[in-house]
Structure 1
Amino acid sequence: MWYAGIGWGADGYEIVAVDGAGAPVAPPNRFDGTGTAEPVAYLRSLAERNGGDLIAVIDSTNGVVDGELMAAGVTVYRADPWDVAPRPAFGSPPATALAEAARSRLSRLTRLSLDSGTLGGREDQADADIDRGAPVERELIARGRCIVHAGRAQPEVALTFDDGPHPVHTPRVLDVLRRYRVTATFFCVGLHVRAHPGIAARIADEGHTLGNHTWSHPYLPDLGRDEVLGQVDRTAEALRRATGETPTLLRPPYGGRSPEVLSWLAEAGQTTVLWDVEAADWAMVGAPAIVRNVVDGTDFGSIILLHDGGGDRSQTADALPGILEFLLVRGCRFVPVDHLLASVRVPTQA
């Protein structure tokens, strides 16, 4: 078996691959400013060289490559903060440390699947963090600094897309939105904006709103205050360079939040954007199921979560016309998230 650690930093990715004895099977490889296609292709080629016997390892601060790797047939494991050496001030643990963690103590790591997503196995912890943050979340909603959905009186919904920009899927999504004359909100990952600034600029040029989705798509409750704000600030700067605007809307990856994270974001001037309609398109459930999930769950004031990056999003692009046609027939108007903020209310308990 070969083991490949995938590290990330301010410029891109580093991959280190070793065999079962810890010897390198290829020189360390850097992918700066390339997006995900090249590192994914490289890891797939390593797997093919070894007859498919390759395990790729990310850590919990990296939610940008595992979906595409699994879609390409590569086995992926996740290391959590207690599994690897301390992180640098900005970036993941070294790729070498991640490869060694898999080689020497694979049983302590978590195997990922498209069904479970990057946070597979940590759902209970994520739910507990959200529960702890509920009082802060309610207070921020009342102040207009957090939104789950808007009021239900007006026939308005917000269509949102996470994890882009992607060089293939985002343009497809934009083409559909332009054809139907619909505006949306795109929550962008900084590493992807750095790799594809022209696509981010197109999103803005076509009248859509851009939001911040952090630099590397980490589980934010794993990070300290400076790390969280570093993720936010670097992404904001990348978006400013690409579009001329600095966003103040932020969606935490996976919706991961705690009282500390919510407070840090609010203190930094960010409005946290959540959702009440989950399409589950990240799990690649098929275009018809994506359409059903959205149209069955949407009410006036809803915020709909879809994805234009982070994996193979061809099903999302295929589903989008059906979603739009169903909701337009219902009389829904599609508006950016910031338009909904004026009618925010505290959600009632079920």
Structure 2
Amino acid sequence: MTTEPSRARGQEPVPYAGIAWSPSGYEVAVLGADGRELRPPALFAPRRAADMIAYLRGFGPRLVTAVESTNGILDGRLMAAGLTVHRADPHLLPGRPGFGSVPARAIAEAGRSRLPSLTRLVRTRGTQTGREEEIDSWIASSHDALARLTRAGQAVSHGSRDRREVALTFDDGPLPPYTGQVLDVLERYGVPGTFFCVGMNARAYPEELARMREQGHTVANHTWSHPFLPELERSQLTEQLERTREALAEASGAPPSRLFRPPYGARTPEVLDWLAQTGSRVALWDVAPDDWTMPGADTIARIILDQVRPGSVVLLHDGGGDRSQTVAALPAVIEGLLADGYRFVGVEELTRTADARTAA
């Protein structure tokens, strides 16, 4: 939690911004301390997120920016730009529509009038700041349900442990220039990747998905806006998956994989059941260097090389923020694993191998 910023004598009142999302992009509302709009709401297409950040910075360093918990793809970029970002949880806001967030003005108003109830986000903790224990509890409660789906071939965390194969996966993109740089490295080494793409970004940068397909990588679903799945109603979750599937198919020119990665790995038994009923195959991981916290390229590479086992699925990111360290770490990761006798495969091939051996 945090308290309302001070209003020292002689300073301008604090402005409050709210960012909403819809199928067409983002809406920004900015309110003054008295609740009046400082400017008319501004609209930004998904490809213009950088312009939106510049627009917000124009309100000065005292601006308080609020997002809601179904918008998990902007906070890293906002904080990297020096903005103060808070998360407004559902109990502080009106009901959401079936697809999209509550209006930007409602989010800004929550920041203005209820700021102590919002959570100030921390760059190294991300959108889930303050909810880590809750997410861990959800995950723990899903152990049996996940095991059941894994036995049925509807979930995967790793492949066979007796084959020196490893899958590199990339979440939250596409996002220039980092997605293109990741693709450059993979192309140079002839290594396949599995990209779990966000629908909003796929709509913004279809050329990146087309290149993924051309290079033989797997394009898979990571929701439209990177929400906390346990907070969604079933119909809202379904819309997230279906809209993203459509955007991925349109951008890449082919139907996406059935693989689906839940944002943050957040899940409950009910969510896993819903996902299974959509025909999705839940794709998790067993190696995560937390590259999104930007611990340094050498640290990212070292963690991966230390933790990979036969059949490992490695979680990396090509979107959501500055991914230059991930790009810089990739050559050392690839060369180190090749030297250790590993073969790189996509998640689908990794799991097909494991499934075949299980059936035998």
Confirm or deny: 8 A CA contact 2:193 2:218 kept in the other structure: yes
TM-score, structure 2 normalization:
0.93
Query: Can you give the 5+ residue segments of structure 2 that lack an aligned partner in the other structure?
Result: 1-13, 356-360
Unaligned runs of at least 5 residues, structure 1: 346-350
* Cα deviation code 1:121-150 (max 9, x no counterpart): 111111111122211100000011100111
User: Where does 1:85-100 land on structure 2 (aligned, <5 Å)?
Assistant: 85-100=94-109
What does residue 87 of structure 2 align with? Answer: 78
The one-letter code sitting in structure 1 at the alignment partner of 2:351 is: L
> In 2, are the aligned partners of 1:155 and 1:331 still within 8 Å (CA)?
yes
Q: Rg bigger for which structure?
A: 2
Structure 2 equivalent of residue 208 of structure 1 = 217
What is aligned with 2:135? 126
1:134-192 CA distance string (max 9 Å, x none): 11100000011100111211110000000000121100110011111111000000000
- The code of the aligned residue for 1:155 comes to R
Name the residue aligned to 2:58: 45
Percent identity of paired positions between Structure 1 and Structure 2:
50
**2:7 is matched with which residue?**
none
Residue 27 of structure 2 aligns with which residue?
Answer: 14
CA distance in 1, matches of 2:150, 2:72: 27
* Aligned mate of 1:310, from 320, 329, 332: 320
Pick one of 144, 148, 153 that aligns with 1:139: 148
Distance 2:211 2:315 in 1: 21
Cα distance in 1 for residues equivalent to 2:318 and 2:161: 27
Q: What aligned pairs does 1:27-42 form with structure 2 within 5 A after superposition?
A: 27-42=40-55
8 Å CA contact 2:16–2:112 kept in 1: the answer is yes
The alignment status of 1:259 with 2:258, answered yes or no, reads no
Instruction: Select the residue among 226, 231, 244 that pairs with 2:253.
Output: 244
Task: Give the match's secondary structure for 2:171.
Answer: strand
Measured against aligned partners, the alpha-carbon deviations of 1:210-242 in whole angstroms (never above 9, x if no partner) come to: 110000000100001100010000000001111
Greater alpha carbon shift after TM alignment, 35-44 vs 255-264: 35-44
Structure 1 residues 139 and 281: alpha-carbon distance in aligned structure 2, compared to 1, 3 A threshold: same
Secondary structure in structure 2 of the residue aligned to 1:36: helix
Task: Say whether the 8 Å CA contact 2:154–2:280 is kept in structure 1.
Answer: yes
Distance 2:135 2:301 in 1: 27
Correspondence for 2:18 = 5
Distance 1:268 1:342 in 2: 20
* Helix, strand or coil at the partner of 2:112: helix
Aligned with 1:61: secondary structure?
Answer: coil
Q: How far apart in 2 are the matches of 1:113 and 1:173?
A: 26
Tell me what 1:23 maps to. Answer: 36
Kept after mapping to 2: 8 A contact 1:279/1:294: yes
- 1:64 paired to 2:50: no
Instruction: Map 1:111-190; keep pairs closer than 5 Å.
Output: 111-190=120-199
RMSD: 1.1
| Distance in 1 separating the partners of 2:353 and 2:90 | 39
1:26 to partner: Cα distance:
2.1
**Corresponding residue for 1:348?**
none
Check the 8 A contact 1:162/1:305 in 2, yes or no: yes
Q: Distance in 2 between matches of 1:209 and 1:84?
A: 37
Tell me the alpha carbon deviations over residues 269-307 of structure 1, each in whole angstroms, 9 at most, x when there is no partner: 100000000111111111111111211111110000000
How big is the shift at 1:116?
Answer: 1.0
SS at match of 2:162: coil
SS in 2 for 1:30: strand
Change in 2 beyond 3 A, CA 1:39/1:344: farther
Count matched residues: 341
One-letter amino acid of the counterpart of residue 97, structure 1:
A
Q: Which residue of 2 aligns with 1:197?
A: 206
Equivalent of residue 324 in structure 1, options 321, 334, 346? 334
Paired residue type of 2:250: R
Could you list the runs of 4 or more consecutive aligned residues of structure 1 that deviate by over 3 angstroms after TM superposition?
A: none
Separation (CA, whole Å) in 1 of partners of 2:354 and 2:245: 24
Q: CA deviation at 1:33?
A: 3.6
1:246 CA displacement? 2.1
**Residues 35 and 192, structure 1, Cα contact 8 Å, conserved in 2:** no
